[in-house]
Structure 1
Amino acid sequence: MSKFDEKVELYTKFMNEKNLSFDADLLTAVTKGLGPSIYKRDAETVSGSDPKELETVKKNFLIKKLGLEDGPSLDEAIAEVVEQIGKSERNKYRAVVYYLLTKKFGKESVYAK
């Protein structure tokens, strides 16, 4: 099994443990879109309490990648996803956070092949 497949398996297991329903193909596509960052411990997770980190998620993912307009709804969506995963959960995997945000905004087409 490749390192990439191991990461997808880890995120799949995580989502199953959290009882989050998901589309495995989309999760794989989102994970692939993150590139080598998934192999770096610090970059692999999102800090739900760090305003600078949350701003990065908003600017680099929601606005640049998904093409959304900046506004309070983006911050609210990020807060909802952090809540959904669990504020006390230490491992808020970036792939899972981005997957949930992609679904929330109905932007699956960004990852369509």
Structure 2
Amino acid sequence: MDDHLADVRRYDPTADAEAIERIVKHLGVALRNPQSLHIKALDAKHAARLREKWCGRKLGCTDRERADLAIEMADLAMGADNERKRVTFYYLVAKQLGRLDAL
């Protein structure tokens, strides 16, 4: 958990530790797979899946344009990072949507 918190705080120094913990619990077993820990490239298919499952189902954002913008902003924020951690990316999307409370 400390590793995830430290990584998120690289992008948001005041990151909510409880929100990060809830993301870690949500991702669960997927985080045990080294390939699932990171988001390597955000292609259209992956962005659509994030919009539908993370933004829509989990965060309750049904506005496609708003969800796409949040995903794009997180992608831009982490763009220089070659190994973008999934927990950090999801946190940044939720924060951009103002939906940390939905976690």
Helix, strand or coil: the match of 1:34? helix
Secondary structure class of the residue paired with 1:43 = coil
- Unpaired segments ≥5 residues, structure 2: none
Equivalenced residues, count: 102
Aligned position for 1:35: 28
Task: Give the Å deviation of 1:96.
Answer: 1.0
Contact 1:46 1:92 in 2 (8 A): yes
Structure 1: unaligned runs, 5 residues or longer:
1-7
User: Which residues of 2 match residues 88-107 of structure 1 at below 5 A?
Assistant: 88-107=80-99
1:14 to 7, 15, 29: 7
Spell out, residue by residue over 1:18-50, the C-alpha distance to the aligned partner (whole angstroms, 9 max, x if none): 242201111111111111111112222223432
Q: Kindly indicate whether residue 75 of structure 2 is the aligned counterpart of residue 49 of structure 1.
A: no
Match of 1:72 among 50, 65, 72: 65
CA contact (8 A) 2:42 2:75 kept: no
Superposition CA RMSD, Å: 1.7
CA contact (8 A) 1:46 1:53 kept: no
Question: Please, what TM-score do these two structures have when normalized by structure 1?
Answer: 0.78
Q: For residues 30-82 of structure 1, give each alpha carbon's deviation from its aligned partner in whole angstroms, at most 9, with x where no partner exists.
A: 11111111111222222343221121111110011111114222111111011
Partner of 1:24: 17
The AA in structure 1 aligned to 2:56 is: I
Give the fraction of aligned pairs with identical amino acids, expressed as a percent: 20
Stretches of 4+ aligned residues off by more than 6 angstroms: none
User: 1:62 aligned to 2:55?
Assistant: yes
Task: Tell me what 1:81 maps to.
Answer: 74
